[in-house]
Amino acid sequence: MYKKDLKHQVMLLLQKFTRFTKQQKSFVLYLFGLTFLLIFFPIIKVAPVSGQEYGIWILNGSFFTTMIILLASLGFLLGWNMSFRFKTMVINSLGFKDNDSLINFAFIAVITTIFFSIGNTVSVVNNVTATISLSKIYYFTWLYLLAGLIFMLITIVKKAKENSGKTKIINVVDEQTLKEISNRKSLKGLFDHDGTDNDEE
């Protein structure tokens, strides 16, 4: 029963994914990649003087507050980009505008800031003791996050240009409409003037 439900949910997700735009597909895949990197790879490397080297993952009690914020941000982004119900609930509850690019950029920026803060802290500690340092996967994730920010920034700029183009079209239409109205008023004024002249005669 559980396997059937899981299979059904997976099929629904795949069907939903096929209906996404190219940009939405790219960002959802990006989110899955980011989640995989943050959860399954250590970001800190510890090499004690006497003992075996080991790694520290983001899902660690030492990073409890950071972990909660990161997971909440990732969960929000996945829900916002994959669940119409979740998006509707957030819009109705918090009054967010349905602007995917800006919201995605904002939350990726939050995750990036937190991630960079961890790196800066470890770098300070590394100046004191060389036994604690950042792992190679940290730097890869660092670049991955930057790529996401750049991708979303490009998307925002593109949408802004599209919206400005639409605004120009609307303005042109409005100007034409105003000209037509003014022309009609002028014509009406002429006819009204002719009518008054005829009455006087």
Query: For residue 186, is it within any domain?
Result: no
pLDDT value of residue 145: 93
Q: 3-class SS at 110?
A: helix
**Mean of all residue pLDDT scores within the chain:** 78
Q: How far is CA 175 from CA 44, 163, 172, 181, 185, in A?
A: 61, 18, 5, 10, 15
Is 125 buried (19+), middle (13-18) or exposed (0-12) by CB count in 10 A?
A: middle
**Into how many domains does the chain fold?**
1
pLDDT value of residue 14: 78
Q: Which residue has the tokens 């490009």?
A: 154
Query: For residue 189, is it within any domain?
Result: no
Query: For residue 147, is it within any domain?
Result: yes
The CB-based long-range contact list for 137-140 (8 Å cut-off, 24+ gap) reads 137/37, 137/41, 137/42, 137/43, 138/43, 138/44, 140/37
Query: For residue 114, is it within any domain?
Result: yes
Structural domain that includes position 162? 17-175
pLDDT, tens digit (0-9, with 9 covering 90-100), for 17-65 = 788 888 888 898 999 999 999 888 888 888 887 778 888 888 877 788 8
Query: For residue 96, is it within any domain?
Result: yes
pLDDT, tens digit (0-9, with 9 covering 90-100), for 68-77 = 888 899 999 9
Query: For residue 37, is it within any domain?
Result: yes
Candidates 118, 113, 97, 99; CA nearest to 148 is 113
Mean pLDDT of 100-126: 87
pLDDT value of residue 159: 79
Query: For residue 57, is it within any domain?
Result: yes
Query: For residue 91, is it within any domain?
Result: yes
pLDDT, tens digit (0-9, with 9 covering 90-100), for 183-192 = 555 555 545 5
144: tokens are 């991955």
Residue 177 clears pLDDT 90, i.e. is over it: no
pLDDT value of residue 127: 78
| φ and ψ of 133, to 5 deg | -150, 175
Count helices and strands (H / E) in the chain. Answer: 6, 3
Q: What is the rounded distance in angstroms from the CA atom of residue 149 to the CA atom of residue 153? A: 6
